[in-house]
Chains A and B, each alone.
Chain A
Amino acid sequence: MNEMSPLHKRTVRTPDASPVNLSRRGFLGASLGALVLGVSLTPGGRALAQGAAPAIVPGTRVNAYIQIQPDSTVLFRSAFIEGGQGIFTAMAQIVGEELDVDPTQFVVACAPPGPDYTLIGGLRFTGGSMSVRMSYETMRKLGAAARRMLLEAAATQWKVPIAALTTQPGRVIHAASKRSIAYGDLAKAAAALPVPSNVPLRSRKDFRWIGKPVARIDIRDKSTGKATYAIDLKVDAMLYGAVQHGARLGMEPDALSNEDQVKAMPGVHSVHRLPGAVAVLASSWWRARRAVETLEITWTEAAPGSTVRVMPADYSSEAHLDDLKAHTGDGLAFETHGAVGPALAGAARIVEASYDAPHLAHAQLEPPSAIARFNADGTLEVWAPNQAPEMFQADAAKVAGIAPEKVILHSPILGGFFGRHFLYQSANPYPQAIQLAKAAGRPVKLVWTREEEFLRDALRPMGVARFRAGLDASGMPVALSAVAIGEGATGRWFGRTVDKVDSSAVEGIAGKVYAIANRRVGQIHVDDPAIIGFWRSVGHSMNDFFYETFFDEMADAGKQDPYELRRRLLADSPRHRKLIEAVADLSGGWKRGPFTADDGTRRARGVAMASPFGSEVATIVEVSLKDGEVVVHHVWVAIDPGSIVNPAIIEAQVNSAVALGLSSALLEEVIYENGVPRARNYDGYPILPPDRMPKVHVRIVESGAPMGGIGEPGLPGVPPAVVNAASVLTGKRIRSLPLSRTSLADAAG
C-alpha cells in the first residue's frame, strides 16, 4: 500500500483552478463572521478563488480547514475520515497546539472533496496508516498561520504592535493593558487578512497537547447514541431501499415470478432490476427488506462481455488454495541481497516449509448504506461511508452521468472500516442508491443487510508462501529464499504491471530487518477470482505470519532459541534490537516455555517482529491449550512509531489491532463453494468474542525516526507470535490459518 501513490497518481485529474468571481462580502455574510478568507468551497467541493486563482497547494488555505465560530469553538474540516482510529482527535491536538485552542473546543467533520485536502502526494484517502504522518507538519503550519491572523487582527483593533501580543487558549492577550479578546470576536476581522507563511512553530518542549494522552473528542457522543453514521441519516421525502444480489457474482436477475404479490405488500413503492441485483423501495427499510426477500427471482448467467467480474460457478476456496500451492518456481524477484542460490547450495542444512492464509471479511459492525438525492439545481448529493472522497465523487458522477463537480459527497463517520470503504467494484451500495433515486425520482436510502454485506464484501486475498532457508554448521541462517503466491489488493485496484511485483503482495516477507546475508523474495501472480480488497495491514496481515513462523522453524532446525536468534540477527540494527529487548522486558523477561502457570495450565510464549507502515513492532504472546483450542492469555507489544501525537490512542489502536490479528489467527476464514460464500452472517463467520480477548500490554518507544503509522502496525506480529507459542506446546509446526481448522493437542498429553 505504500506504493499506492505513484500507481494511481497517473489516473487522477489535475485540480481545476479556473477562476470564478466571488463577492467576499457576500461570502462572509453567509458565513456568520467565521474565520474564512475570501474563498469558499462550492457545494460540489471545488475550491473557488477570487480573481486569477493560483494553483492550490493542499493544506495551506486556512479557510478550507478552520472556521472559528462566534463562540470561539473551532469547526475543523479534516482531510481524513474518523472510523475509530482517533484521527479527529489527533487533528484537534495538532492544529489546536499551534492555533492555541484546547482540543475540547474542536468540532471536527470530514472535509468535502476538493484540492485543498489531497495531502497524500496530491491524493487523498484514509488508509495505509498515513493520516497523521503525512499531514503532521502541514497541519501544524496551518494552525500557526491561523493563530498569526488572529494576532494581526487584534493588533490592528487595539493599535498595538503584534509583538506585544500573546495568546492563551482561545484568546489574544495584551499583557501591558491587561486586555484580552476571544478568538470568536476576532474571526471576522481576521478573515480579511492574507494567510501568512513561514510562521514559527511551537517548540516541542512547550507542547501541551501533542504527545499527551488527550481525551478523544467523540467519546461521549459515542457512549450515548448521539454519534451519527451513514446508516443513521435521513433526508426529506426519501424512500428506503433493500436489495437481493445474485448469490454468485456476475449473475443477473431475469424473471420475478411473484412481482405483483410483492408490489402489494405493505408500504412497497416499487421493484427495480439493477445490475446483479433486484431492489425494492418502500416506506420503511424493514418493509423494503421483507419485500425484497419475498421476491422469487430467476438468476441467469452474465451476458457475454459483461463488465462485471464474473465468479466461476465451480470456484471453491479449497480448489483455489490447491491452485496457489501448485504453482512452482521462484517467481518474479522483488528483493534480493547477496546470492541466494550459491549460499543455499553451500549450506550445511536446508529448511523448507509452505504456508497459507485464507480470504477474510472486514465484518465491520456498521452495514454499508448510501443515500442519493438529485437536487433541482442539477446536483446529486450522496451520503456514503468512504475512505476516499474524491474517488467516490468521480465514480458517483460516472454512475449518474453528470460532471464530478455536480456531485456533493458527504462522508459520515464510519462504524468501523479496516479497509472496507475504498472504491471496490460491486462492493459499494452507492451506485445502486443513485440508480434507484434516478428511477424513483425521489431520494433513496439504501441499506445492505448483513447477509448482502457478507455476499459482496471485498476480501483480504488468500495467500500462500513457500520458504527455503540454508543454515550453516552452527545453525545460523545464511540464505533465505521466499516466494509469495497470489494477488495483491493494490495491483487489483490501482493497476498492475506485468513484469513488476505488487508490493502489497509481498510486504511482510520483503522488508524484513534480519541480517541474513543472502536472501531473495519473489512473487508468483495468480489471479484471485474473488473481489479482493485492503484489510487492516494489507499484505502484512498474512505475510508477517508466514515469515515469522518460518523464522522459528529455522531457529528450531538450527537449535537456536527464536528470541536469541532474532537478537543476534539484529546485532547491527540498534533500533530493532532495542525494540525486541523492550518487549521482552515488558513481558518480564523472555521465556519460551513450556512452563506451568500459577493456575496450573501449561503455557508457552512466542515472539515476532514486523515493520509495517513506517513503524516497528515487536510482539510476545503467551498461550495455553484447552479443548483443542488455543487460549491466548497475554499479548505484549512494543511499538516504535518514531514519534507520537497521542499515547492513549496508540494504546487503544494496539489493543484493537491485537484483537483483529488474533481474530484472524484463531477464527476467521471466508469459504467459497460453487462460487458463493458459505457464511452470510456472524453465526457462520465468527469474529473474536469478548471471552477470547487477552490482556494487552503496550510499550511505546519513541526512537526519533521519521513518524510511522499507528492504525495497522499492531496487527501483523500477533498471528505469528500466537502460532509460534502454540507450536511449542503442540510440538508440531502449524502452517495454515485459522487455527480453528485444526484441533490442537498438547505434545505433553
Chain B
Amino acid sequence: MQREAYWRGVRELLPAAPGVFAWGLVTGVAMVKSGLSIEYALIMTFLAYAGSAQLAALPLLVTVAPLWVVALTAIAVNLRFVVYSAAMLPHLRHLKPSARLGLGYLIGDIGFAKFSALLEREPDYPHRVAYFAGGASCNWVLWQASSVIGILAATAIPLEWGLALAGTLVLIPLLVPFCRDRPALGGVCVASIVAVVGHDWPLRLGLVAGILAGMLTALSLERLTARERAP
C-alpha cells in the first residue's frame, strides 16, 4: 500500500513535469551564464536543491559578496519553506528524525501544493507521507535532470523563447483547486497584491510577506463567515 501511494504521488506530479523541467533548465542556464563554472554549478544544484535561493545568491557569489550576506539572502528567500514545513509537521511528527530531515530536504513549492491538495480531497488518506515522498522525489529527479542539462548545454538553450514562463504557468492549475471558497479567494488576492507591491523589497521579502498577509486575510474572512452563520 505504501508503494502504491508512493507511485500515486509520482503519477499525480507528472502533469507538472514540463513546467518543472523548463524551470530547472532556466536555472541551470542562468547559473552558468552568470559566470559560475560548470563544476560549481553542478555542486550547488545537487547540494542546495533550492532554485530561487540559488538564483538569488548568484549575483552575490559572482561579485564575492560577504558570506553572511549570502547566508542571509538564502535564508530569506527560503522563508516560505518554514511555513510549508509547519503545515506538514503534524503529518510527519511520528517519523524518525532522519526521515523528517530527508523529507524536509525534498520540500518544494509543487510537492507541497500536491500534498496539500490531496489532504483537501482526502483528509484521512493513510499513506500521505508515501504520497508526498513520491511526488517530491519525482520533482527532485526532474529538477536535477533539467538543471544538469541546462548547466551543460547553457549556450545552446534559447531563453528568449520564454521557457521561464512555462515554469510559472504550471503553478496555475495547482492554484485553482485551492480557490474553492471566499476566505481562500480573499487570501489569494491579498497575497498577490502584497507580493507585487513588495516585489522590489530586499531579500525577496515581498514573497513571504505576501504569503503571511494572505494567510491572515483568509483566516479573518473564515472567522467572519463563521460568525455570520452562527445563530
Q: Do A and B come from one complex?
A: no
